[in-house]
Amino acid sequence: MNERQPVRRPGGRAARVGAAVHRAVTDLISERGYGNFTVGEVAARAGVADSSIYRRWGNLESLLTDVLLTRLNAVSPMPDTGTLKGDLRTYAAQVAREITGPDGPAVLHLAVALSSKGRQGVRAADNLRTERTRQLQSMLDRAHDRGEHAPDAFDVLDHILAPMYIRVLFGMGPLTTEYIDRLVDRLL
């Protein structure tokens, strides 16, 4: 007996539905904030049946976690400028573009909201920290291999990324190149 399995194509209908649902979630978070919309509203905005969302994600919190983790895993590649200072400045500038872009504040607000919402939210926050730490550690290891003194990954989080996140979350002014460079210089 030769049973044929359906062929799944990357970029097929499932990918289009996923992208439309993710876009709808991000838009609704930007417009209304966390917790102020339903699966039905996401489905209507995405142009899909709410049963499609339940079948694929199970519930709204799983969907929100998937949106957050997908966005966080789509970070630009780690820079390799030849110096730790150059790498940190370039990386911080990439993060600044990411978090100040059209969806950046919504994604940051989602990360904060989910981190206080049960086991799944804690897992999403842990995944965020793990991914950022992994990215940073690869850059710091490379600097160490070049003979440079490299700080701890958590020092980079505390002294460069956290101040940028706070500024965006609380609308405390732009993340200028000068501001980012000062953060890097203070750490080093």
Percent of the chain scoring above 90 in pLDDT: 48
Is residue 53 domain-shared with residue 84, that is, in the same domain? no
pLDDT tens per residue, range 135-179: 889 999 999 999 999 999 999 999 999 999 999 989 898 999 999
Q: Is the pLDDT of residue 105 over 90?
A: no
Q: Is 20 a member of any domain?
A: yes
87 with 149, same domain: the answer is yes
At 62, which helix (H) or strand (E)?
Answer: helix 60-72
Mean residue pLDDT across the chain: 86
- What's the CA gap between 102 and 138, in Å, rounded? 28
CATH (domain of 130): 1.10.357.10
49 shares its domain with 96:
no
Which residues have C-beta within 8 Å of that of residue 29, sequence separation ≥ 6? 106, 107, 109, 110
Enumerate residues 6+ apart whose C-beta is below 8 A from 58. none
Query: Could you tell me if residue 8 is inside a domain?
Result: no
Do residues 52 and 107 share a domain?
Answer: no
Phi-psi region of 82 (alpha: psi -120 to 50; beta: other; left: phi over 0): left
Residues 167 and 83 in one domain: yes
Whether residue 97 sits in one domain with residue 25: no
Do residue 49 and residue 82 come from a single domain? no
Q: Which residues lie closer than 8 Å to 8 by C-beta, 6 or more apart?
A: 14
51 is in which domain, residue-wise?
Answer: 13-58
Q: Is the pLDDT of residue 8 over 60?
A: no
Instruction: Check whether 50 has a pLDDT greater than 80.
Output: yes
92 and 35 within one domain: no
Judge whether 148 lies within some domain. Answer: yes
pTM, two decimal places: 0.73
The more confident residue out of 119 and 46 is 46
Q: How many domains does the chain have?
A: 2
d(CA 28, CA 30): 5
What was the pLDDT predicted at 71? 75
Q: Is 68 inside any structural domain?
A: no
CA 131 to chain centre: 9
Give the pLDDT band of residue 127 (cuts 50, 70, 90).
confident
For residue 127, which amino acid is it?
Answer: N
Backbone angles phi, psi at 91, to 5 degrees: -60, -45
Same-domain check for residues 102 and 144: yes
The angle formed by the CA atoms of residues 166, 172 and 175, to the nearest 5 degrees, is 80
Q: Are residues 91 and 22 in the same domain?
A: no
Burial class (CB in 10 A: 0-12, 13-18, 19+), 178: exposed
pLDDT tens for 68-92 read 777 766 666 789 999 999 999 999 9
pLDDT band at 122 (very low <50, low <70, confident <90, very high): confident
What is the widest separation between alpha-carbon atoms in the chain? 68
Domain shared by 156 and 102, yes or no? yes
Residue 51 CA to residue 43 CA, distance in Å, equals 9
* pLDDT at residue 111 in the model: 76
Q: Say whether 105 sits in a helix, a strand or coil.
A: helix
